[in-house]
Amino acid sequence: MVVPGGNARDIVRGWPTTGIGRAAPWQSAGKARGIGPRGLSAIRAFVRRGGTYVGIGAGGGLLAGPEFLELIDFDVVAATLGVGRVWLRFPDPAHPLARGYPGHSGAAGLGPTGLVPAMYYSEPFAQLPGGPVFRPGRQVTAVALYAGADATPEESNLINREVFDERHGHAAILHQRIGRGHVCVFGIEPAFRGTWWRTAGLLANALYLAGEDGRPSRAR
Domain presence at residue 26 = no
**CATH code at 162?**
3.40.50
Domain presence at residue 89 = yes
| pLDDT at position 132 over 80 | yes
Containing structural domain, residue 131: 2-14+32-211
Instruction: Judge contact between 168 and 182, C-beta under 8 A.
Output: no
Contacts of 67 by beta carbon, 8 Å cutoff, 6+ apart: 8
The pLDDT value recorded for residue 69 is: 98
| pLDDT at position 99 over 50 | yes
Per-residue pLDDT tens for 4-44? 999 999 999 988 777 666 677 777 777 778 999 999 999 99
Q: Is the pTM of this model over 0.75?
A: yes
In the chain, the number of structural domains is 1
Element at 40 (helix H, strand E) = helix 36-48
Residue by residue, DSSP assigns 15-70 as --SSSTTTSTTSPPSS-----HHHHHHHHHHHHHTT-EEEEEIIIIIHHTSTTTT-
Q: Label residue 111 by pLDDT band (50, 70, 90).
A: low
Report the distance separating Cα 71 and Cα 183, nearest Å: 7
Domain presence at residue 219 = no
The pLDDT value recorded for residue 114 is: 80
The pLDDT value recorded for residue 74 is: 98
The pLDDT value recorded for residue 27 is: 72
